[in-house]
Amino acid sequence: MRFPIIFLAAIAIASPGSAATEIKFDPNKRWEHKPTGIVLPPTLGAVKRNRLAWFSAPEVDVAGEYWSGDDNDTVTIYLYRNVSGDVPMWFDRARFYILNLPEKYGAVTPTGVRPFTPRGTTVTSGLMETYQLGKNGRSSALAVLPFNGFYAKFRVTSKTRDLAGVEALLLEAVNSFDWSSKTKQRPAITIADCATRLAARGPAKLLEGEDRMMAGLLGGLFAQVGGKEIKGKSLPPPPTFCREPGQSSLSYGLYRADSAVEHFTLAVHDGGRAINVGRNGLTELVKREIAESDGKKDDQPRYTVNFVQLDKVETYSDFAALPLPDQAVEQVEKTRSVSTAGTWGKEDKKVTISTN
């Protein structure tokens, strides 16, 4: 497998690298990614398309790899659906692996993250950086940008080019496409550490004995409604993510939308999947109204864990307080979700409830 994708065994959450499915293609014809309209040509300058594959599901997570004839240069293009985070967050995750795998890349010298304006746009919606790799004298470059509800990630590696040369190869590859997107983009900035840390806390109590049927229904509803316009009301502006200091690892990175203190996002690996954790006002409201109708009182806070995948969202049992990151990961890895809501293809809008 030539795709330079990082998928770690340290966390078992839906690692798409373990199940790559080859896409058959005519080496002399263009191949179109229908959801975005991006067309991968047989060649990009001097590099030739050698492989296409998808990982978790057709269309939502694909990659194409191009090699030079002498095998010195490699260009890989990843297209994965935008279901969480933003360009700065996913660039940060891809960059983290380059900088923190010395056994693979050696001592890495980065040149600094900088925004760029993708061809066909007027907004600096993409981020890029070049790297001198300490192992085998190679150089590399990375770029991430948004397009038509997806992220596009470019990774370029060269055995012979210097930093200027590998940057030229990256820009040649990126500028081979027109990124005039149907969706409005915003300028991308280098992600920063959050100004304050989440409050120190112990493990949160899992609310066992809750009605799984109700939790599943509410979880499925929340997953379907989240981020969508309701009754003509306009959506708030997208959040700006910051990085929780000291919480980035090979397994996940912890990020907070608008420096929230009761919500956080665990970016799993670097391909768009995330565990969203936070206070669930919808469930609290329903539980409170049910209790009041019975002449009772229910002021219990509820914090929900959602595993946001590229084609579905799985919702898990609530906690009584904001759980620790490892609690959320363990819940996703080791327990059964209360509901699964499809968000793509034939399963879109389909909600499956688990009652046991």
**184-235, pLDDT tens digit by residue?**
899 999 999 999 999 999 999 999 766 555 666 666 665 655 545 444 455 5
pLDDT computed for residue 247 by the predictor? 84
pLDDT computed for residue 196 by the predictor? 94
CB 36 within 8 A of CB 84: no
Does residue 221 sit in the same domain as residue 282? yes
Does residue 151 sit in the same domain as residue 292? no
Does residue 164 sit in the same domain as residue 90? yes
pLDDT computed for residue 286 by the predictor? 83
pLDDT band of residue 320 (cuts 50, 70, 90) is very high
pLDDT computed for residue 57 by the predictor? 82
Task: Answer yes or no: is 181 within a domain.
Answer: no
Task: Answer yes or no: is 182 within a domain.
Answer: no
pLDDT computed for residue 222 by the predictor? 59
Does residue 141 sit in the same domain as residue 29? yes
Element (H, E) at 52: strand 47-54
Q: What is the mean pLDDT of the chain?
A: 88
Does residue 341 sit in the same domain as residue 271? yes
pLDDT computed for residue 238 by the predictor? 85
Task: Answer yes or no: is 95 within a domain.
Answer: yes
Does residue 170 sit in the same domain as residue 216? no
Distance CA 131, CA 74 (A): 15
pLDDT band of residue 288 (cuts 50, 70, 90) is confident
Which amino acid is present at 164? A
The enclosing domain of 98 has a CATH number of 3.40.1000
Count the domains in the chain. Answer: 2
pTM value is 0.89
Domain extent, residue 329, equals: 212-353
pLDDT computed for residue 283 by the predictor? 79
Task: Answer yes or no: is 138 within a domain.
Answer: yes
Go through 69-81 and write b for each residue having 16 or more CB atoms within 10 A of its CB, e for each that does not.
eeeebbbbbbbbb
154 vs 219, which has greater pLDDT? 154
Does residue 57 sit in the same domain as residue 165? yes
Cα 343 to Cα 118, 128, 195: the distances in Å are 28, 30, 34
Does residue 166 sit in the same domain as residue 223? no
* Overall average pLDDT of the 75-81 stretch: 97
* Overall average pLDDT of the 265-282 stretch: 93
Cα Rg, the chain, nearest whole Å: 21
* Overall average pLDDT of the 314-333 stretch: 95
219 vs 50, which has greater pLDDT? 50
Does residue 328 sit in the same domain as residue 222? yes
pLDDT computed for residue 300 by the predictor? 87
Boundary of a domain, candidates 122, 155, 174: 174
Task: Answer yes or no: is 194 within a domain.
Answer: no
pLDDT computed for residue 20 by the predictor? 85
Distance CA 158, CA 139 (A): 5
Does residue 236 sit in the same domain as residue 155? no
* Overall average pLDDT of the 165-178 stretch: 96
Boundary of a domain, candidates 127, 147, 174: 174
Does residue 24 sit in the same domain as residue 127? yes
